[in-house]
């Protein structure tokens, strides 16, 4: 066999950890390693709420791939389809051109998008917090509302601009509401008249916040949010959104120009087009992370349905967390190598280590290894964990320095000026209409004549 080509799609927690293991284990020149990814950084998503609140600069959580990968050829673009028959990935490069990347082994790790529902007005008016652009825009949007409210003498407009609604009681929603509420408090030092008008709401359709934290800590998180002035309502969702109001499923109408949507994720649409088995949009793989009907394809991270062997139930799947994704990467890389060498593959198994939730300021709740912490001990654990997990020395220094600057000098509440509509609401961000199914990908590959037809 000539030098095998291993193509990895996505460089998040799962893809990057797979690539690092491949580079470490495969001798120089023994295989070609290719990465298809739209950005040349790995985004440390758990700290996005701290970018949205301005505690961290965007660069500090964008871990440069150039520092971490040394032998991988990077193709800047998105995989928009996979021709499973000819083993070729169709790529839309960031220039808009189409490219074709043949593979002998394919590792799919494209992550997930914000999950939206068929709620009138949601994608036009909702804002997400799932990528760097959304986090930066969210901060500008919140600060712009306060500036405009302060400049208005219309009481109705002031109420609309001072009311903020976060939908989703998972860690993203809780951390986003907690940290942006603090940003508003800081901004109110400039706008004292707005102080009594500002309202933050957090709603969720479930009966508990963050059920994975357990009953006690879920309740503590809710108490901490309420003490901070966030109104938490459970078992409620959004019925309709317009530019200046949101109607809830309990028929309350909130005058509101800020609908922040963090109600879960849905797997990358790439997975649904492969013509292979999916489970709620996630590509189904076996415990060895390969696809049963196409063993040359591996899938990991948020967009893969991976059996959770640490649980007793037969149909348990690994949850979509960074903790799992960054362990699945090396496991997939080892199995890619084993499959190329005709050796037996190993099953992926990881017992969840718990969850850490940073509520900004001095508050956090944490449940590592089943032990419960709140307050400063939880905050220290949470921050130490993030520094440990950041993967790059310069990234760690940037994040720690940002935290120190905030502690010593306080925060900045100036907008950056992103008020144009380039990427703003959910309708602008996920570009889900660009994906091809495997037949369309096959046709494109045949027309381009770029395929190695191994069918
Ligand atoms: C605000 C927030 C807070 C979170 N907090 C925590 C936490 O505290 N603890 C925890 O364990 N988890 C947390 N998570 C979840 C965690 O970040 C995800 O589970 C994890 O990022 C999943 O890793 P992944 O590699 O599957 O996907 P990602 O990290 O999302 O990476 C996917 C990569 O693929 C790229 N990509 C997407 N589509 C394509 C395509 N078509 N072609 C090529 N590349 C593509 C993307 O640009 C990205 O680089 C949080 C998530 C968010 C949004």
Distance CA 360, CA 185 (A): 12
Place of tokens 């940037």: 398
Residue count of the chain: 455
Strand partners, 365: 357, 374
Give tens-digit pLDDT for 353-372: 888 899 888 889 988 888 88
pLDDT tens for each residue of 43-88: 999 999 999 999 999 999 999 999 999 999 999 999 999 999 999 9
Ligand 1 centroid to residue 46 C-alpha, Å: 9
In this structure, what token pair is assigned to residue 194?
Answer: 């707005």
Cβ-based neighbours of 426, under 8 Å, separated by 6 or more: 114, 116, 122, 123, 126, 127, 128, 261
Given a cut of 90, whether residue 1 has pLDDT beyond it is no
Q: Is the pLDDT of residue 133 over 80?
A: yes
| Of 117-131, 273-287, 329-343, 358-372, minimum mean pLDDT range | 358-372
Counting from 1 in the atom list of ligand 1, the atom nearest the Cα of 304 is 26
The Cβ of residue 283 has, within 10 Å, a number of other Cβ atoms equal to: 26
Tell me the pLDDT tens digit for each residue of 8-39. Answer: 999 999 999 999 999 999 999 999 999 999 99
Neighbours of 95 (CB within 10 A): 9
Whether the Cβ atoms of residue 160 and residue 154 lie closer than 8 Å to each other: no
Higher pLDDT, 425 or 421: 425
What's the pLDDT tens digit per position in 380-398? 999 999 999 998 899 999 9
Average pLDDT, the chain: 92
Q: Give the distance from CA 105 to its chain's centroid.
A: 25
Largest CA-CA distance found in the chain, in angstroms, rounded: 75
Q: What is the separation, in whole angstroms, between the first and last Cα of the chain?
A: 16
At which residue do the structure tokens 């998040």 appear?
Answer: 12
Q: Which atom of ligand 1 is nearest to the CA of 268?
A: 38
Q: Ligand 1, closest atom to CA 91?
A: 42
Query: What pLDDT score does 429 carry?
Result: 63
1: how many CB neighbours lie within 10 A of its CB? 5
Helix 215-227 × helix 171-187 angle, to 10° = 20
- % pLDDT > 70, the chain: 96
Residues in CB range of 101: below 8 A, 6 or more apart: 5, 7, 34, 36, 75, 88, 89, 91
**Which structure tokens are listed for 251?**
């028929």
Q: Residues 245-269: what's their mean pLDDT? A: 96
CA of 303 to the centre of ligand 1 (A): 9
Residue nearest to atom 3 of ligand 1 (CA): 46
Q: What is the mean pLDDT of residues 223-249?
A: 95
Distance CA 349, CA 353 (A): 12
Mean pLDDT of 85-96: 97
Cα 97 to Cα 392: distance, rounded to the nearest angstrom: 32
Contacts of 103 (CB under 8 A, 6+ apart): 5, 6, 7, 34, 87, 88, 89, 296
Residue from 12, 168, 319 to probe ligand 1 pocket by mutation (most atoms less than 8 Å from CB) = 12
Please give all residues whose beta carbon lies within 6 A of any atom in ligand 1, as ranges.
9-15, 36-39, 43, 45-46, 48-49, 78-79, 109-111, 129-130, 171-172, 268, 270, 301-302, 320-323, 325
Average pLDDT over residues 217-221: 86
Q: How far apart are CA 384 and CA 34, in angstroms?
A: 33
| Least confident residue range of 31-40, 163-172, 269-278, 426-435 | 426-435
Could you give the dihedral angle defined by the CA atoms of residues 320, 321, 325 and 328, in that order, rounded to the nearest 10 degrees? -70
Pocket of ligand 1, candidates 79, 272, 321: which has the most ligand atoms within 8 Å of its Cβ, to mutate? 321
Please write down the HEC assignment for all residues of the chain.
Answer: CCCCEEEEECCCHHHHHHHHHHHHHCCCCCCEEEEEECCCEEECHHHHHHHHCCCCCHHHHEEEHHHHCCCEEEEEEEEEEEECCCCEEEEEECCCCEEEEECCEEEECCCEEECCCCCCCHHHHEECCCCHHHHHHHHHHHHHHHHHHHHCCCHHHHHHHHEEEEECCCHHHHHHHHHHHHHHHHHCCCCHHHCCCCEEEEEECCCCCCHHHCHHHHHHHHHHHHHCCEEEEECCCEEEECCCEEEECCCCEEECCEEEECCCEEECCCHHHCCCCEECCEEECCCCCEECCEEEEEECHHHEECECCCCCCCCCECCCCHHHHHHHHHHHHHHHHHHHCCCCCCCCCCCCCEEEEECCCCCEEEEECCCCEEHHHHHHHHHHHHHHHCCCHHHHHHHHHHHHHHHHHCCCCCCCCCCCCCCCCHHHHCCHHHCCCHHHHHHHHHHHCCCCCCC
With beta carbons less than 8 A apart as the criterion, state whether 291 and 454 touch.
no
Domains of the chain: 5-114+266-352+430-448 (3.50.50.60), 122-263+354-419 (3.50.50.100)
What is the pLDDT, as a whole number, of residue 455?
A: 38
Q: pLDDT value at position 436?
A: 92
């Amino acid at each position: 066999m000539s030098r095998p080509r291993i193509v990895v799609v996505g460089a998040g927690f799962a893809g990057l950890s797979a690539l690092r293991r491949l580079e470490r284990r495969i001798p120089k020149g023994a295989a070609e390693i290719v990465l298809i990814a739209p950005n040349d950084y790995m985004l440390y998503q758990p700290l996005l709420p701290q970018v949205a609140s301005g505690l961290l600069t965007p660069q500090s959580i964008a871990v440069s791939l150039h520092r971490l990968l040394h032998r991988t050829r990077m193709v800047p673009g998105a995989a928009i389809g996979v021709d499973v028959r000819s083993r070729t990935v169709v790529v839309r490069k960031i220039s808009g051109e189409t490219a074709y990347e043949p593979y002998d082994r394919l590792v799919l790790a494209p992550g997930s998008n914000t999950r939206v529902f068929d709620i009138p007005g949601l994608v036009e008016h909702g804002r997400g917090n799932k990528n760097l652009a959304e986090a930066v825009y969210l901060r500008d949007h919140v600060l712009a509302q306060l500036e405009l409210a302060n400049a208005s003498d219309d009481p109705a407009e002031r109420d609309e601009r001072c009311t903020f609604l976060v939908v989703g009681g998972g860690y993203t929603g809780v951390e986003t509401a907690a940290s942006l509420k603090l940003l508003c408090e800081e901004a109110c030092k400039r706008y004292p008249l707005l102080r009594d008008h500002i309202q933050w709401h957090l709603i969720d359709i479930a009966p508990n916040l963050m059920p994975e934290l357990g009953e006690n800590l879920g309740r503590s998180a809710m108490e901490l949010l309420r003490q901070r002035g966030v109104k938490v309502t459970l078992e409620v969702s959004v019925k309709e959104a317009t530019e200046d109001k949101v109607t809830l499923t309990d028929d309350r109408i909130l005058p509101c120009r800020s609908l922040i949507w963090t109600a879960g994720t849905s797997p990358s649409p790439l997975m649904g087009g492969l013509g292979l088995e999916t489970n709620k949009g996630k590509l189904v793989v076996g415990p060895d992370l390969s696809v049963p009907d196409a063993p040359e394809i591996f899938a990991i991270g948020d967009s893969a349905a991976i059996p959770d062997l640490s649980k007793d139930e037969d149909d348990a799947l690994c949850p979509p967390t960074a903790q799992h994704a960054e362990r699945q990467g090396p496991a997939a890389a080892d199995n890619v190598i084993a499959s190329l060498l005709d050796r037996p593959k190993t099953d992926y198994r990881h017992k969840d280590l718990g969850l850490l939730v940073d509520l900004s300021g001095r508050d956090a709740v944490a449940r590592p290894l089943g032990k419960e912490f709140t307050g400063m001990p939880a905050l220290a654990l949470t921050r130490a964990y993030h520094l440990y997990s950041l993967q790059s020395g310069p990234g760690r220094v940037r994040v720690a320095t940002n935290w120190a600057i905030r502690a010593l000098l306080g925060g900045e509440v100036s907008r950056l000026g992103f008020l144009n509509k380039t990427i703003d609401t959910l309708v602008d961000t996920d570009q889900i209409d660009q994906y091809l199914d495997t037949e369309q990908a096959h046709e494109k590959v045949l027309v381009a004549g770029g395929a190695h037809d191994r069918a």
